[in-house]
């Protein structure tokens, strides 16, 4: 029982006996069973013997799991695993310490009888009209999109057709769940096209694949923003997603009597603006953390005579050649915008209100992501699916410990770089508890810059920095800082971030429902911006919420890719009327 | 020496000695050396000892080939091979009979120092503007496309941005050869969108990948035509190809004094119509065999009161519900159009002027293409690149023999199907020499129907057939056939095919240049439509022609995919000033 195969055999027997204490006894006392949908029909990490026993008592027999397998070599203490349940097929990962499990990860990957139409299951493409009227493939697609304007209700309505909306749309499409996406922009990808010129993805291409359609081998390591926008537009076409563009969600309310939503949409078409009320059973918020601009209210704002705008309305530095521009904020967008201003011959001043976590692109790409998401990983046989599963297999408590160790080492190896930044007057941190960017992202999605070149400009002074200061007020030709100093500027760009998903709920549904749902994102780590209690999974994302039929989709490209499958399977099971009662501890 | 490794060692030694007789002695007396660019800087098959010796005498030492390798197991009598030359890297395939080569295939796959930017060589995507002006990725692409309107000359101009033009455009892009594509349609893919609604590709998806960007796993087996059109549009974006749409080539003339072309283009933009004269060094005709409609001149045509149109102008059968429609022709389009008329409740009559080669889709997919291009092949590890190389490795003389054997067997196994068709009055053939569709395609690209359902309609009479008859004349309500019979019709669709590439040359350049080039396509098989002498390669395609700087690109998706690389390497070598004198027997 000292290897993966032996443990799985013992686990299979214990599950079959339904003896929850025997099951828990297979784990270390401080072990983890992270289950994503396969057993618990939600995303949850069960930590320690008591929690595992409780989970097992509720689910061991009911799930009907069997067929536990692993390709791990004999004697291996960890490896990928696969299994079946009564309803579906699962995969996961197991890590042993001695003969006990430190971590077991179980995830549902498909439902029996509802396998995706891939490979040998793909459609023929010929004689596509099921009713034999000779409608072409394109006409049938158009019919479907138009049907929702003619009174048909989608089973699922997705608000937002950025990368997250498109990912869940594609997953649902592959599972034949009727789904409509709506997006406020006229063209898919406009969220990206409308940003500042120098924007690229800050994660490398191997980490950023969308589901089903990987980037080809010539795709740049860091996708320029217009290329991202175009790719998303192509993606919607390739995946045949019904999307209403130029459509804003005005309001949404759940109708408990009919167990469905009343969603009012305002859609602009060539024929003018029209309101539609749709009644989907499920509503997915895929509006992102970058959905609406968070503009600070600064005293005497009206006095400033120059250009004042939010980063999301800033197309690039071309117009400011020779001008002095203040950038408020010191995270990703602030740095990108400042660097672009330098390139365009402007003189940027960055106002850093609190410390920032800085990660060099090379650190991210060549150290942190390299084992799983890199050309080397691909060339040595690592697939995106396995890489994603490996990441998901690590409980967040262990991720924290690993991240802390990584950053303890990086603070030493990268010390000269960080010292230069400090010397330039820039305030550095490594996360409140030293866990750095990965946890930072999962906690608050803010407070960091992935350095793609701006740090050198800070170090050599091309980007001036005023750090640790608040903004007192605006004046005619600039602003006054909290130390009384006057910064002159022709323009002020507020790289002050975006509203949260919970704020979206408050706006579109109601503040009461937003309260009922609680915070979306963060996992209860207890740091600023992510208060406890400890949750162990990202709050409210990709899983049932406190409001029936309300779901949240989001994350970066990698999280959206992986978790969209889990969300889609939960919805498909409901669509097919399968028993899917989520486990509640 | 009785296996691939032993033979390659002997071949390497013989090449190194420069002894052409010794080289030829390694081949069977009736052996073949098919070389695509690697040694001869053209596409040529050298058949028999004398031809091989002559080729070797000219090229053995000059090419500087070395490093012959194979992954074939010891003792294997055939296998994939790889090698280097002084200028590049090559791959191929070797088949032995005893210790002699029956076939050696050598193909150039890349030039040293000019490897494609794939995988680890992909661009960063950040800081894209080489001149540091902060131009974004999209702006730089736009600058490039616009530069050709502002007087810059592309090194290569491609006429036609259908699948063939886009394939060579993508290959040249990956090799950094400045290239502009022009296309008469307003949007990329319109060649496909403008066809009849029921059109799908008749080859399966595994055979139809474009270079660099494979179809994803959910793509239908037979792509509907609008989906093909959209995919090509996405492809141009994904490959970042500079294309002028709504642009017709008015005329082209080679200027021998300046060794460049004078090409007049008429381009429609939002600002109106404008003529541009460009001076590329190389002109690629990628106009296809489906470039312009071939409309028959039928006596008394003006007398017919109904709708008379070419298949390319026929959008589908919806308008002819309850009507009687004559379809002239009995190849792919004629069958598709007739079947679509049936689905729309029309009554089609097919006029078959001469016999047709019919291949059931299942035969094509499950018998002929299955070993190399199928889900089973993919799942068992066959890659598109290896499949393509396997096909290219077979000299056309052996392909003919193989095709004849296949069709001898298929005529037996499929006899009941063919008898039913004959009983329905439909005239069948299997190619003039019984070699069937594959050779048929390489000889004349016509005379066949890949059955996707129309044959059943012919057999059960839903599609009426009048066979072996010419059209005498049109009359007010239909036409009179050569046997004097009168066929009434509300509409007549002429599925009578398209002009040849040589006709395009005659139109765009001059009849004299068209004569100088000679026929494009066919390989001198000696059958009707493809007169001898035997050429052993497709005439004038993807290789130097009799006119300097004039090249032809075309074929189905599979040929375009494979041969575009060979054509692009020939052009890249010229662009870089490498010595590339084509071998002339």
HEC states along A295-334? CCCCCCHHHCCCEEEEHHHCCCHHHHCCCEEEEECCCHHH
Q: Could you say which DSSP state residue A581 is in?
A: P
Q: Which long-range contacts (CB under 8 A, 24 or more apart) does A207-210 make?
A: A207/A369, A207/A373, A207/A556, A207/A557, A207/A558, A208/A556, A208/A557, A208/A558, A209/A384, A209/A557, A209/A561, A210/A163, A210/A166, A210/A167, A210/A170, A210/A235, A210/A557, A210/A561
Could you give the 3-state DSSP secondary structure of residue A473?
Answer: strand
Q: What is the pLDDT of residue A128?
A: 64
Separation in Å, CA A266 to CA A183, A246, A552, B417: 10, 8, 21, 56
Any chain A CB within 8 A of the CB of B122? yes
CA distance A216 to A167: 18
Q: Angle B72-B371-B453 (CA atoms, 0-180°, nearest 5)? A: 170
CA distance B373 to B205: 8
Q: What is the pLDDT of residue B197?
A: 85
CA distance B275 to B250: 9
CA distance B232 to chain A (A): 11
Task: Single out the residue of A231, A156, A224 nearest to residue A189, CA to CA.
Answer: A231
Q: Residue B240, by phi and psi: left (phi above 0), alpha (psi -120 to 50) or beta? A: left
Chain B nearest-CA residue for A237:
B230
Task: Single out the residue of B38, B140, B40 nearest to residue B90, CA to CA.
Answer: B38
Any chain A CB within 8 A of the CB of B2? no
**Peptide bond before residue A533 is cis, with ω within 30 degrees of 0:** yes
Residue A374 near residue A368, CB atoms below 8 Å = no
Residue ranges of chain A with per-residue pLDDT less than 50 = none
Calculate the CA B237 to chain-centre distance: 22
* Burial bucket for residue B257 (CB in 10 Å: 0-12, 13-18, 19+): exposed
Could you give the 3-state DSSP secondary structure of residue B66?
Answer: strand
What digits encode the pLDDT tens for the residues B191-222?
999 988 888 998 999 999 999 999 999 999 99
Q: What is the number of other CB atoms lying within 10 angstroms of the CB of residue A503?
A: 18
Torsion, Cα of B106, B110, B112, B114 (10° steps): 160
Q: What is the pLDDT of residue A289?
A: 65
What digits encode the pLDDT tens for the residues A50-87?
999 999 999 999 999 999 999 999 999 999 999 999 99
Check A122 against B343: CB less than 8 A apart. Answer: no
Q: Angle A146-A228-A182 (CA atoms, 0-180°, nearest 5)? A: 25
Q: What is the number of other CB atoms lying within 10 angstroms of the CB of residue A248?
A: 16
**Among B126, B137, B222, beta carbon nearest to A226:** B137
Torsion, Cα of B369, B373, B376, B378 (10° steps): 170
Q: Report the 3 state secondary structure along A85-133.
A: CCCEEEEEEEEEECCEEEEEEEEEEEECCCCCCCHHHCCCCCCCCCCCC
CA distance B577 to chain A (A): 25
Per the structure block, which two tokens stand in for A346? 């402007």
Q: End-to-end distance of chain B based on CA atoms, in angstroms? A: 29
- Sign of the dihedral through C-alpha B502, B505, B506, B511: negative
Maximum distance among all Cα pairs of chain A, rounded to whole angstroms: 77
Strands B88-97 and B100-111: antiparallel
Q: Which residues does chain A have within 8 Å of residue B128's beta carbon, measured at their own beta carbons?
A: 224
CA distance A158 to A76: 43
Task: Single out the residue of B323, B49, B175 nearest to residue A218, CA to CA.
Answer: B175
Q: What is the pLDDT of residue A127?
A: 64
Could you give the 3-state DSSP secondary structure of residue A288?
Answer: coil
Q: What is the pLDDT of residue A291?
A: 60
Best mutation site among A115, A136, A193 for testing chain B: the one with the most B CBs within 10 Å? A136
- Residues 6 or more apart in contact with residue B195 via CB below 8 angstroms: B225, B312
Residue ranges of chain B with per-residue pLDDT less than 50 = none
Which residues of B, range 193-222, sit inside 8 Å of A by Cβ?
197-198, 200-201, 205, 212-214, 216-222
- Residues 6 or more apart in contact with residue A481 via CB below 8 angstroms: A351, A466, A469, A470, A471, A472, A487
CA distance A96 to chain B (A): 32
Q: What is the pLDDT of residue A195?
A: 86
Q: What is the pLDDT of residue A1?
A: 64
Per the structure block, which two tokens stand in for A477? 């030709």
Residue B157 near residue B550, CB atoms below 8 Å = no
Calculate the CA B73 to chain-centre distance: 34
- Residues 6 or more apart in contact with residue B349 via CB below 8 angstroms: B324, B325, B326, B327, B463, B464, B465, B466, B487, B489
What digits encode the pLDDT tens for the residues B230-241?
999 999 999 999
Residue B71 near residue B58, CB atoms below 8 Å = no
Which residues of B, range 560-579, sit inside 8 Å of A by Cβ?
none
- Sign of the dihedral through C-alpha B521, B522, B524, B529: negative
Which residues of A, range 244-303, sit inside 8 Å of B by Cβ?
none
Q: Which residues does chain B have within 8 Å of residue A172's beta carbon, measured at their own beta carbons?
A: none
Check A238 against B234: CB less than 8 A apart. Answer: yes
């Amino acid at each position: 029982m000292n290897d993966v195969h032996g443990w799985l055999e013992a686990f299979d027997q214990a599950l079959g006996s339904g003896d929850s204490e025997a099951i828990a006894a297979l784990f270390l006392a401080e072990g983890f069973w992270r289950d994503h949908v396969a057993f618990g029909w939600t995303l949850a990490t069960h930590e320690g013997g008591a929690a595992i026993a409780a989970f097992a008592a509720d689910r061991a027999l009911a799930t009907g799991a069997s067929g536990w397998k692993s390709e791990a070599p004999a004697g291996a203490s960890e490896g990928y695993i696969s299994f079946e349940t009564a309803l579906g097929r699962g995969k996961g990962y197991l890590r042993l310490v001695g003969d006990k499990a430190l971590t077991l990860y179980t995830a549902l990957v498909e439902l029996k009888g509802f396998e995706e139409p891939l490979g040998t299951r793909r459609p023929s493409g010929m004689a596509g009209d099921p009713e034999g009227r000779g409608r072409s493939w394109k006409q049938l697609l158009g019919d479907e999109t138009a049907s929702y304007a003619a009174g048909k209700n989608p089973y699922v309505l997705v608000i937002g057709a950025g990368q997250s909306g498109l990912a869940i749309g594609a997953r649902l499409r592959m599972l034949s769940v009727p789904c409509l996406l709506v997006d406020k922009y006229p063209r898919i990808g406009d969220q990206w096209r409308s940003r500042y010129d120098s924007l690229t993805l800050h994660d490398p291409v191997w980490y950023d694949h969308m589901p089903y359609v990987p980037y080809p081998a010539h795709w740049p390591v860091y996708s320029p923003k217009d290329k991202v926008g175009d790719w998303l537009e192509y993606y919607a076409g390739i995946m045949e997603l019904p999307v209403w563009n130029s459509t804003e969600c005005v309001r949404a309310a759940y109708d408990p009597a009919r167990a469905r939503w009343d969603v009012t949409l305002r859609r602009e078409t060539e024929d003018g603006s029209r309101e539609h009320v749709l009644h989907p059973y499920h509503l997915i918020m895929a509006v992102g953390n970058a959905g609406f601009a968070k503009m600070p209210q600064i005293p005497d704002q009206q006095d400033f005579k120059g250009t004042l705008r939010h980063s999301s309305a800033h197309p690039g530095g071309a117009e400011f050649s020779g001008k002095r521009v203040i950038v408020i904020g010191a995270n990703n967008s602030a740095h990108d915008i400042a660097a672009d201003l330098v390139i365009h011959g402007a003189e940027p001043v960055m106002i850093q209100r609190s410390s920032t976590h800085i990660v060099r692109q090379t650190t991210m790409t060549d150290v942190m992501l390299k084992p799983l998401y890199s050309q080397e990983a691909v060339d040595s046989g690592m697939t995106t699916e396995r890489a994603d599963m490996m990441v998901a297999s690590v409980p967040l408590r262990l991720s924290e410990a690993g991240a802390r160790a990584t950053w303890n080492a990086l603070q030493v190896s990268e010390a000269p770089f960080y010292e230069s930044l400090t010397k330039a007057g820039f305030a550095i941190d490594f996360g409140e508890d030293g866990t750095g960017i990965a946890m930072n992202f999962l906690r608050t999605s803010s407070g960091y810059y992935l350095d793609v070149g701006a740090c050198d400009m800070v170090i050599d002074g091309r980007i001036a920095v005023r750090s640790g200061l608040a903004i007192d007020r605006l004046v005619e030709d600039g602003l006054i800082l909290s130390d009384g100093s006057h910064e002159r500027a022709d323009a002020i760009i507020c790289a002050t971030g975006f509203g949260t998903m919970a704020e979206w709920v408050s706006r579109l549904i109601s503040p009461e429902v937003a309260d009922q749902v609680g915070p979306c994102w963060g996992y209860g780590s207890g740091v600023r911006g992510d208060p406890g209690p400890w949750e162990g999974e990202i709050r409210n994302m990709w899983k049932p919420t406190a409001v029936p039929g309300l779901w949240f989709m989001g994350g970066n490209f990698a999280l959206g890719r992986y978790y969209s499958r889990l969300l889609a399977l939960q919805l498909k099971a409901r669509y097919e009327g399968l028993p899917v009662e989520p486990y509640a501890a």
